[in-house]
Structure 1
Amino acid sequence: MIKNEKNPRPLFVYSAIAMAMMGGVSVNAVAQDEGVEKVERIEVTGSRIKRADVEGASPVTSIGRVAIESSGVQNIGELLQTVAQADLSGLTQLTNNTNGNDGSQTISLRNLGDNRTLVLVDGRRFLALGGGQVDISQIPIAIVERVDILTDGASAVYGSDAISGVVNIITKNGFEGVSLDVTVGANLEGDGEHKQAGISIGTIKDKTSLFLNISKSEEKEISAGDRDISQYPVAHIPAERGSAFGLFGIFNTSDGFVSLNPDREGPGLRTAADFEPFGTKHRYNFAPTNYLKTPSDRFNVFAKVNHEFSDELRGFIDFTYNQRKSVTQIAAVPLTAGFAGPQWEIPFSKDSIYNPFGEDLSSFGFRTLPIGPRTSIQDYDTYFITGGFEGEFEFADRSFIWDVSMSRGDSSRNEHGENFVNLQNLRNAVGPSFIEGGIAQCGTPDNVIAGCVPLNIFNGETGFTEEMARYIGYEFNEQVRTGATNFAANISGDLFELPAGWLAFAAGVERRVNTFSDSPDSLVAAGLSSNNFREPTSGKQTAEEAYFEFVVPVLADLPGVERLEVSVAGRFSDFENSGLVGTQSVDSDFDNESFKVGFTWRVYEDLMLRGNYADTFRAPSINNLFAGGGEGFPSVQDPCNTTQFGLQSAATQARCMADNVPSGGSIQPTGQLRELNGGNVNLQPEEGNTVTFGFVYNPSWLEGFDISVDYYKIELEEALSTLDAGDMLTRCYVQNDENFCGFVERREDGRVETVRTSQFNLAQLEVEGYDFNANYRFDTHDFGSFAMRLTGSYTDKYRFAGEDERISDVDNQVAAIDSDILRWRGTFNTTWTYNDLSVTWGMRYTSDITESCSIPEDFVERGIATRELCNQRGRTSEDNPNGLNHVGSVTYHDLSASYALPWQASVRVGMRNIFRKDPPVALNPFANSFYSVHDIPGGTWFMNYKQDF
């Protein structure tokens, strides 16, 4: 039999909290004197002060256990996708970039990035990744009692990263008994199967309580080729937008770029006559091989032990272990010799037995389909343990509550990559070769390269043998580790009584040490792998902080002022950093002070006003400071190249020539340049402020109804902003800023070799909007009870600007592809409960987007596109010569039903996106052709069985 630990809270407090935990409503209850001698003080998200009431100046929304179960989600990430303030830049398993993803899920609020959203577990910091964000997939959903979302700047209360808000994941407590939980489901298209099973055991004996949960989950992949919208790189364009590196090759000859005539593919050696100018038919559709949804297996162990040594002293230990295996898959390696970085400067020798052109080929490309798709297998192991003591004591006739805790966590990601290319072996295989004894060999008769197999990419897939694939193909192994050691000590209580009540306070100190190391595969670090070059690195960050918080009762029991309180908080932080920049060890440090002031004004019993003004800050993470240079190839025009040189001023031309650029400009073979993006040890904290103001209305004339509306405005100065290769080149040569010239590396002939890029404290961010919540619960005599909930968020302004510019209001424009900026997001849920039956209908709404159009108008006429993709051709401008594309709003409908069985069991069945609404076609996301804010096409079903003992 399952029962709850005895709870001394007064009924009105317990009911408010239970209501939030079960129904997922906002916590807006009112504490009143019920004549109870001892009232348990609790800590509410947004404040460190433990109090008997659950209201505060900061807006907090809670998603309770019943709401979690009725949603049918399989992990915390899916659950938080429904939060109106979440922008989903991290909460997705979509593979929507060229290197896939590793199955991690992070949360970003208000389009400010996952590193500006603080994630807590039971009010304490959890193990973070190197960028400062928390992978919430490490926390099994089976242990979650509720999730609190604080949508307010909270740096003064919680420290760095709490700029856009705080997500506090509250785990189960006071559980006794045994519970088995099994869930199965799949996409309605018949793929994407998921399974989850877990057991929870809780016991309370004397003064010790134990909770243990062990769970296992498995999610299968969904391939991009199995959905119409993602079977091509751009939906409804079968060929034009495919890769130039296909199965018929692309070769830079003296006659221009040529490819094998598809009709000539077959046994035997090819001649130059078998090739034709490169065209659309030679392109390769890489999309179908990619995973649309990343598969993963998770095994979790969570344990919580509490022991009461006395009425004034308790001890606790929490332990989390998570093992996750994820697999990402994208199309086979494209050979890009002569088109990419210096490691790809691999000419195809005229003396190769397969080269039909009789000349060295400085650049060539081919899709290595015979080797197989690039597959990366990530094996994550994470543990996090927290232990400590808490209690209370009396001093000067006052009660004080204290706690001391220590946490240690470690995470390692071991990644194994299959079907990549060893560039040293490729260089051997495309060099001179000869035949001896009927066997093709690399090198010359006087200098044979042992074990080498000459490569034939001139005969299409037919000429690329398994033996060749084995020689140039290779598997890589690399490791990334993060660690955290946290110490915290807190005290809170009442200091003295004022006419309007007791002045309450909280204070404490924290010390956090975070470490990070990245050890790429040896061939990757040496620049001998087809996987993008990356430099190894390591770093350490130590934060020492102290904070205070006061709640001051100002007025009470007056006309129009039932209660007025002012809250004040402050935090003082010192950071010390050490790590590697290249091979050099570098140290840095910075400090910060943050303050917050807020108020709650209960006008009368039904109406409360609240507001805050807060300083916010985010310390640069270890990755921001010390990340090794990672390779990329953005589309950039060197201002000193042959096409741009003549357009520059005489001063700019002189600066180009001073860097070995010949008069008239240097050659730039392609529209892309090699970029190495890494850390910047000179970064300083981001700083800004947040303003919120709102009201909570609980009308006494309508029992069970409450509504809250909050305005917010976030301003961030000195925000981190990446200057890309184009910015670096422009600042150096056009703007004559010598500080940026050191980031550009050129060859002896003046060509750009590499541009190093990084982040700088240059940007400004402004976000402004409104949040609202409404709940209505009522009972009927004959038809059961009903609970309705409406949540929403409206973004009025979103501005991101560098030093010299400002972006205008949102105006339904997407400002960043990786962060979908929407005017409106909202949910509406209705739950009907009748005896043992409960049915929930949910609606999820996302507003429309207008994006730039990259598709020329004649694509349909020329037969390249099968339908018109830009539905607002008339809205042209200098930046959008092809007009715009309107991505429509979407409303998804979800349905679930549960039934309590007489043998202490329950069964729940449901469907998400029951009408199987497809996402609207979008042009800006890479691959897939829809934004991650939308569901994968097809809808899903699920069935859950829970047995209690």
Structure 2
Amino acid sequence: MVDFKKYLLGTTIVMGLAAVGAPVWAQSQPQSETADAASAESDPGVIDDIVVVGSRLRRDTFNSPSPIQVVTREEATLAGFASVTDVLQSTAVTQGTSQINNAYGGYVTDGGPGANTLSLRGLGATRTLVLLNGRRVAPAGSRGSVGSADLNVLPTAMIERVEILKDGASSLYGSDAVAGVVNIVTRNDLDGVTVEGQYNAPLDASGAGDQTRLSIVAGTHGDRWSLSGSAEYYNREELTLGDREFARCPIDNYIDGTDYIDPMTGRSKCWSLNAGGVTVNTIGTSNIAGVAADGAVGTVFNRWRPNTAVTTGLTGFEGVGNTATNTNVRDTFDPDMLNQSLISPVEVATLYLQGSYDLQALGNAEVYGEFLYNQRKSSQTGYRQLALDYAVGSPLIPANLAGSVFSPGDLGLNLGQAVGVRAFIGYGNDTSSQTVDFTKSVAGIRGDFLPLDGWHYDVSASYTKSDSTYSSPQFLIDRLQNSLDVVSNGAGGFSCANLAAGCVAAPAINNQTLAGDLPADWLNYVMADVVGTTVYDEAVLSASIDGDLFTMPAGVVRGFVGAEYREMSIDDTPGIDMQTSNVYNYSSSAVTRGDDSVWEVFGEVEVPLLRDQPFAENLTLSASGRYTNYDSYGDDTTYKLGLVYTPVDFVTFRGSYGTSYRAPALFEQFVGATTGFLGTSFDPCNNYGDAGADPIVAANCASQGLAPDFQQTSGVTVVTKGGADAGLEAETSTNLTVGMVLQPTLPDAWGELAFAVDYYEIEVENGVDRLGASGVLDRCYSSASADFAAGNGYCALVDRDGTSNALTVDDSYLNLATDVVHGIDYTLRYRKPVGPGTALINLGVTQMLERHSTLSADDPVYDEVGTIGTPEFTATADVSYAWDQWRVHYGVEWISATGYDDYYLKNYGYTLAELGYDAEVGSYATQNVSVRYEADDWAVTAGIRNLTNETGGLVSAGVVDMVGNVPLYSGYDYVGRTAFINLSKSF
């Protein structure tokens, strides 16, 4: 376990470790704090044994068989990050793979809206373990899919550094450490008080999106005790779609010139139905003769919008839809759409305390404790369309529409009557909110294990609880039904046929209703805040001993033995209307409730085989193993072997191979059935008869009786549920990493150089995951005709309603046959004295070689490398120069070009470009600059992030989820050019 005292070594050790393993800017230090590993190790009075992520052993050397990246506090500040969340989700840490961040407020995500998670190697947040001072950070969030650490809970003000192991380590840390481990190390050398403030101000966002962080950090100590802690407040203001120019006018953006041209402007239509708009200010009827709107074709229509100038045909309306008219003739934009959250707002308050007391007994024992309290208040502004169904014969329908029967077999919202007229209304904005209270308490004792000379023990217990309340305003189906069932009130108005519960009659169909000008008393009746609660708790008891086993000619053999018991439970109770599916056109959820427990024993040993021999300066073997026994999934064993070989002092080879075993998270086992929706554009059969369409897809769509010009009018329903009842199994994986480190000794005038290259591969068998509804649809409709007809493979997860043609996709948790990622990391670090100071250059490059998932063993492999969200190359670089009390910094984060043409050509034999879609985005790079001045007791850092205001490449609507015409992708900076300043003062 982590020995807090040993962290007093600070950045000297960090730099020694970083020189052989850590990429990018995060390892750089000002000249006054820099020392390499060799010079640090030469003075045993300076270096004490420490524990660093990737091993449970205390070491006084820093050779590791696995690459480790270190992010220091100062470098995070120089880069302009206002929170540890921003640091961990940066390209420098994630290598450009997609993360759940604050741009996903309108989506159903694990942890609920507002949660920020970390996924290393793109393998998902449940396969990345987050530690705080070497101990697990339990999941936090809202709704039923809480299963990963929420980065919002971490105490930014107290962080000394972040250690990142990008290598599987389940035998060392247990479940979740499949793709890697992140360890947050807090400051414990505090003596005094430091006040700090940071302000980030976007310069191209109309004054929105500001970030503010205020903190106070303090510490004191006596002869036998120490106490330190922090209190901080973080606030991020909302950034809306209307605040950023690139998001205000999404268009179809087809490269073949087939964008719908708006007759009102003569240009491509903003917010078309393909580009994120919805039908508003429109009614649906049976076929009626009337006057065509601009752009509409024919004289008979079934979609209409108000036009008081029309006095013939359907008086007061013009036709905007029939089988011959482009659906985008309809109104698809409401100014309220621009009020939707692009980056959702949040307020976070965090309190952190840590302390220790020397007992001077029980082996020089020290009792210690930690307490973390965090509260997150987050919200998201959305936009709602309201579709009201007026029954045949309803007195709310005007006389000239009394004969309409919109959907003979569809009762819609009506009680026993078919839909006569359907009104598509732009309701406007609504706001969902979450409050999450997170507490973590740790108590422990550590000291010398007296029965064994030179051994140490550590026993600790912790309890963590995440308690959240989430709320969203919802239209209630039963109240909508009652309000639409009306009779005349005898005074020229209407009242509900059933007046129970204060029923208020729905508004009649007229221009005001269709425009979204709805009566307040009716809205108060049919809408309600639906409130749910989520509680996730985790208790952990752990014990360990470690020390020197014996001495060999090459050095001391060190060992570690530990045991841990952990139990966890989840209880998510959605509002009753969510549970009973009484919410209209919104996701519904069932109760998620379950628990699990696990006990484990584990050990590690490090054996120096050779040292200071010809062509063997160092040869060290490490091994670890773990026995795991879950209450839910039984037992298994995992192991990891590592080797470090230094034939000569400037070349080191390193490698490791290990296995992992991960029982499904509680939400993967027990999450109650949850429904969500995708847009109509995700139906693979839309206009499948177009030239260039995939012939296999076309044949499968035709076999379902769909016309070649079929256009889906219903959203795609997506159902997600836990897999425990369906036989969900635990997953296993293997992890291989091999690398080389070069540290040549250069003449003093040439400076110091370190270069590392590491190949990694992670292969998950029986992986627990969801494919994503769009992926299921694409793979189903691309199946061979016999499999499609029989409903085999992915098609077993898809259902198309025989009457409405609406699609339902089962995107529940299941066991994937394989989940694979291979790649190479390259790291370069160069430091050189220049003039009065020191220049430091860091470069990190990651090349992803392979990334794919398959559902069954005989499925074809579709390599995703190079697609949006899975770039082949990412790179980060920084140059800094430090002298006296000054430091200047320049950094770059770069992502290679991505897209889908090569993917489709390789897997399906055609490109999306052939179909008229722009599915390619160019490379993307952001730059940041800063300067820092540090006096004895105060410091100031100022700079600009995203210097050139990059937002991401444009693609056609419908290729991927979009923000404007930019892909929804965490690698893009939607906030834009941002100035920042950080001030700190110590007392």
Using structure 1 for the length normalisation, give the TM-score: 0.84
Which of 832, 842, 861 is the aligned partner of 1:778?
832
Q: CA, structure 1 residues 939+714, in 2 after alignment: closer, same or farther (shift >3 Å)? A: same
Report Cα offsets for 1:627-678 as digits up to 9, x if no partner. 1111134568799xxx9xxx99xxx99xx9xxxx99x9xx998565544210
State whether residues 187 and 941 of structure 1, in contact with CA within 8 Å, keep that contact through their aligned partners in structure 2. yes
For residue 944 of structure 2, what is the aligned residue in structure 1? Answer: 911
Q: 1:355 to 1:615 in 2, by over 3 A?
A: farther
Q: 1:527 to 1:259 in 2, by over 3 A?
A: same
Distance 1:425 1:558, change over 3 A: same
Equivalent residue letter for 1:401:
H
Cα pair 2:217 2:229 within 8 Å, conserved = yes
1:601 maps to 2:651: no
Contact 1:24 1:62 in 2 (8 A): yes
Q: Determine helix, strand or coil for the equivalent of 1:373.
A: strand
Closer/same/farther in 2, CA of residues 898 and 260 from structure 1, 3 Å limit: same
Equivalent residue, structure 2, for 1:402: 457
1:536 corresponds in structure 2 to 591
1:919: how far off? 2.1
The residue that corresponds to 2:256 in the other structure is: none
Partner amino acid, structure 2, of 1:936: Y
State the match for 1:390 in structure 2: 446
Whether contact under 8 Å (1:233, 1:285) holds in the other structure is: no
* Separation (CA, whole Å) in 1 of partners of 2:234 and 2:243: 23
8 Å contact kept, 1:107–1:117: yes
Stretch of structure 1 that moved more, 281-290 or 8-17? 8-17
CA distance in 1, matches of 2:371, 2:87: 23
- Alpha-carbon distance, 1:559 to partner: 0.7
- Equivalent position of 2:623 in the other structure: 568
For residues 55 and 976 of structure 2, the distance between their equivalents in structure 1, rounded to whole angstroms, comes to 42
CA contact (8 A) 1:523 1:529 kept: yes
Q: CA deviation at 1:175?
A: 1.0
Q: For residues 745 and 365 of structure 1, do their structure 2 counterparts lie closer, same or farther at Cα, with a shift above 3 Å needed?
A: same
Aligned-residue CA RMSD (Å): 4.0
Q: Is the 8 A contact 1:84 1:825 kept in 2?
A: no
Does residue 1:841 correspond to 2:890, yes or no? Answer: yes
- Contact 1:84-1:827 within 8 A present in 2 as well: no
Report the alpha carbon displacement of residue 18 of structure 1 after superposing the two structures with TM.
Answer: 10
- Are 1:828 and 1:842, in contact at CA under 8 Å, matched by a contact in 2? yes
Q: Alpha-carbon deviation of 1:889?
A: 0.8
How high is the sequence identity, in percent, across the aligned residues?
23
Aligned 8 A contact 1:299 1:322 in 2:
yes
Q: 2:558 aligned with 1:556, yes or no?
A: no
- Verify: 1:335 aligned to 2:386, yes or no: yes
Whole-angstrom CA distance in 2 between matches of 1:491 and 1:596:
19
- Decide whether aligned partners of structure 1 residues 605 and 10 sit closer, same or farther in structure 2, where only a CA change above 3 A counts: farther
Give the Cα separation in 2 of the matches to 1:624 and 1:385: 26
> 1:374 Cα shift?
1.8
Q: 1:793 to 1:257 in 2, by over 3 A?
A: farther
Structure-2 residue corresponding to 1:706: 754
Whether 1:253 aligns to 2:286 is yes
Once residues 309 and 188 of structure 2 are traced to their aligned partners in structure 1, the CA distance between those partners, rounded to angstroms, is 67
Partner of 2:418: none
Question: 1:301 maps to which residue?
Answer: 351
Paired position in structure 2 for 1:524: 578
Paired residue for 2:932, among 885, 898, 917?
898
- Residue number among 42, 62, 87 corresponding to 2:70 in the alignment: 62
Contact 1:10 1:36 survives alignment (8 Å):
no
Deviations 1:5-26 (A, max 9, x none): 9989799758737999997329
The answer for unaligned runs of 5 or more in structure 2 is: 29-34, 254-268, 289-299, 322-326, 413-420, 690-694
Choose which of 957, 961, 966 in structure 2 pairs with 1:925: 961
Matched to 1:387, the amino acid is A
- The 1:477/1:365 distance shift into structure 2, 3 A limit, reads farther
Contact 1:245 1:336 in 2 (8 A): no
Structure 2 counterpart of 1:679? 722
Please tell me the residue identity of whatever aligns with 2:439.
Y
Q: Given residue 393 of structure 2, which amino acid in structure 1 is its aligned partner?
A: K
| Paired position in structure 2 for 1:944 | 982
Per-residue deviation at 1:940? 0.5
| Cα distance, 1:557 vs structure 2 | 2.0
Q: Any conservation in 2 of the 1:404–1:488 contact (CA below 8 Å)?
A: yes
Summarize deviations over 1:72-129 as a string: whole Å, max 9, x none.
2111121121325444533522147456972211111111111111111111101114
The one-letter amino acid of 1:171's match is: T
Q: Identify the residue that residue 60 of structure 2 maps to in structure 1.
A: 52
Work out whether residues 13 and 53 of structure 1, in 8 Å CA contact, stay in contact via their aligned partners in 2: no
Please tell me whether residue 719 in structure 1 is matched to residue 767 in structure 2: yes
Relative to structure 1, is the Cα distance of residues 463 and 329 closer, same or farther in structure 2, using a 3 angstrom cutoff?
Answer: closer
The 1:808/1:753 distance shift into structure 2, 3 A limit, reads: closer
- The answer as to 2:468 corresponding to 1:413 is yes
CA change 1:595–1:31 in 2 (3 A) is: farther
Aligned to 2:114: 103
AA at the equivalent of 2:342 = L
Which structure would you say has the larger RCO, counting Cα contacts within 8 Å and 6 or more residues apart? 2
For 1:58, what is the secondary structure of its paired residue?
coil
- After superposing the two structures, state which structure 1 stretch, 242-251 or 61-70, moved more: 242-251
Matched, 1:792 2:801: no
Q: Which region of structure 1 is more displaced relative to structure 2, 832-841 or 142-151?
A: 832-841
Q: Which secondary structure does the structure 2 equivalent of 1:935 belong to?
A: coil
Worse-superposed segment, 770-779 or 594-603? 770-779
Q: Is the 8 A contact 2:23 2:827 kept in 1?
A: no
Query: Are 2:484 and 2:505, in contact at CA under 8 Å, matched by a contact in 1?
Result: no
Query: Where in structure 2 are the equivalents of 1:317-328 lying within 5 Å?
Result: 317-328=369-380
Does the C-alpha gap of structure 1 residues 178 and 450 become closer, same or farther in structure 2, counting only changes over 3 Å? closer
User: Structure 1: how far apart are the matches of 2:793 and 2:51?
Assistant: 49
> Any idea what SS the aligned residue of 2:121 has?
coil
Aligned residues between the structures: 878
Partners of 2:829 and 2:842 within 8 A in 1:
yes
Amino acid at match of 2:196: D
Residues 604-629 of structure 1 deviation map (CA, whole Å, 9 limit, x = unaligned): 22221100111123221111111111
Which residue in 1 is equivalent to 2:544?
490
Aligned match of 2:98 in 89, 94, 107? 89
Shift of 1:691: 0.9
Is the counterpart of residue 197 in structure 1 residue 197 in structure 2?
no
Superposed displacement of residue 708, structure 1: 1.5
Shift of 1:64: 0.8
- Matching of residue 461 in structure 1 with residue 461 in structure 2: no
CA distance in 2, matches of 1:720, 1:22: 32
- CA shift, 1:187, in A, is 0.3
Does 1:591 find its partner at 2:643? Answer: no
Provide the residue aligned with 2:27 in structure 1.
Answer: 25
Could you tell me which runs of 5 or more consecutive residues in structure 1 were left unpaired when the two chains were aligned. Answer: 338-345, 578-588, 815-819, 855-869
Alignment of 1:881 onto 2:905: no
Counterpart for residue 307 of structure 2: 263
Q: Distance in 1 between matches of 2:620 and 2:315?
A: 85
CA contact (8 A) 2:209 2:237 kept: yes
- Secondary structure of the residue aligned to 2:900 is strand
Tell me the secondary structure at the aligned position of residue 83 of structure 1: helix
The aligned counterpart of 1:802 is 855
Q: 1:942 to 1:177 in 2, by over 3 A?
A: same
Q: Find the residue that maps to 2:191 and give its secondary structure.
A: strand
Q: Deviations over 1:403-436 (max 9, x none)?
A: 1111111112211223x31221211222343242
Q: 1:432 to 1:410 in 2, by over 3 A?
A: same
Match of 1:348 among 391, 403, 406: 391
- 1:424-435 matches, within 5 Å, as 424-435=478-489
**Paired residues of 2:723 and 2:814 also in contact (CA < 8 A):** yes
TM-score, normalising length from structure 2?
A: 0.81
The Cα of 1:466 is off from its aligned counterpart by 2.8
Alpha carbons 1:132, 1:621 under 8 Å: kept: yes
Of the structure 1 ranges 791-800 and 739-748, higher mean CA displacement relative to structure 2 is found in 739-748
Worse overlay, 213-222 or 232-241: 232-241
CA distance in 2 between partners of 1:918 and 1:56 (Å) = 38
Structure 2 residue 191 is the aligned partner of structure 1 residue 176: yes
- 1:742 Cα deviation after fit: 10
Cα distance 1:113–1:98, how it changes in 2: closer, same or farther (>3 A)?
A: closer
Task: Classify 1:728/1:425 alpha carbon distance in 2 versus 1 (closer, same or farther; 3 Å).
Answer: farther
**What whole-Å deviation, never above 9, does each CA across 1:160-214 have from its counterpart, x for those lacking one?**
1111111111111121111000112210023211111111110011111111100
Asked whether 1:513 is paired with 2:559, we answer no
